[in-house]
Amino acid sequence: MQGNGDFNMNETHNHVVVRVPGTTANLGSGFDVLGIALKLYNRVRIERAPGKAIRITSPLAEEARPGATAMVAEAAALFFRRARQRGFGFDISITGDVPVARGLGSSTTVLVGTLAGLDALTGAGLGKEGVFQLANELEGHPDNAAPATFGGFTASAPAAEGARVARFAVPTKARFVVLVPGFEVRTADARRLLPAEYAKADVVHALGRVAMVTAAFASRNLGSLQGMYDDRVHQPCRTPLIPALPRVIANGVKAGAVGGWLSGSGSTIVCLVATDDDGRAARVGKAMQRALPASWLHVVGADAAGYRVEASR
């Protein structure tokens, strides 16, 4: 086993383990644009296997992640093509704490882990920028792939090279109170609920909030965000899937959170506590859970590193 620091990208390897953080995306009105990496992790282990087959060997296999094998195969095919590598079969296992279909970037951990793992295994040298661009191409929106790759807070926008990312470190004192409901929401279903067009007033409302949230993270002044997480872009249309959403956020804010949002396309709801006051974070969590008792709570900080190749041989 080698630590990340000793990892030599130019060698080929037989197996590799990549740790990838879960993510919370949108942060209110930053739909498909803003994201934060969280200290909640999945580990993707890839081992070369004879033949061309790709096999998921972890307990979180096809039953728990419908379509996972096809998703990994698609990512691998894109990697082999773009990195100009000869394809090979492999066994892949996915373990960790990021729940499936809850809006915490679980699919992204699998995609990024697959791409980063193959990059490390082959010594192709795409690096984080190359891995991110391929993940964005596969997902169609970069708001989970950017923080999962680079860590911290990220804003991203379509650009000539695919997507461009601005990344800022999140103050270590920030606490994210993560309420994970017992039920799943599929991103594709949640995207179908969105309108094709928006009124000018709603666009202007969203632009202001995205600017303010980005400025607050860039200037490390998270306390200035009261009232800036309300949203007219996606949350109102998705509330029928998560009816407790407005009450969970209102309870969290009343208990001392700066604000709260639907994490990605849900079902998870996140409230931000801007100080390292763990008592306040616990009170916020309890208040959120009162509005949705059938749920799990995590209080976590932001991950600063993005994905990390942990071991290889």
Q: Residue 105: which of 143, 72, 78 has the closest Cα?
A: 143
If the CB atoms of residues 148 and 281 are measured against ligand HSE, the closer one turns out to be: 148
> What's the length of the chain?
313
Q: Identify which of residues 47 and 143 has a Cβ nearer to ligand HSE in the complex.
A: 143
CB of residue 224 vs ligand HSE: minimum separation in angstroms?
24
User: Smallest distance from the beta carbon of 145 to ligand HSE, in angstroms?
Assistant: 8
Residue 105 C-beta: closest distance to ligand HSE, Å: 7
Place of tokens 């949705």: 292
Q: Is 127 in contact with 119 (CB distance < 8 Å)?
A: yes
Identify whether the C-beta of residue 46 lies closer than 8 Å to the C-beta of residue 16.
Answer: yes
Residues 16 and 90 sit within 8 Å (Cβ to Cβ):
no
Q: Which residues contact 121 (CB under 8 A, 6 or more apart)?
A: 12, 13, 14, 15, 16, 46, 48, 90, 312
Nearer to ligand HSE, 90 or 217 (CB): 217
- Please report how close the Cβ of residue 25 comes to ligand HSE at its closest, in angstroms: 4
Beta strands in 74-218 (DSSP E): 89-96, 153-159, 162-168, 175-181
Contacting positions for ligand HSE (CB under 6 A): 25-26, 31-32, 141, 143-144, 187, 190-191, 234, 264-265
| Pick 141 or 298: Cβ nearer ligand HSE | 141
Q: Rounded to whole angstroms, how far apart are CA atoms 257 and 253?
A: 4
Q: Give me the least distance between CB of 205 and ligand HSE, in Å please.
A: 17
Give 25 or 155: the residue with its C-beta nearer to ligand HSE: 25
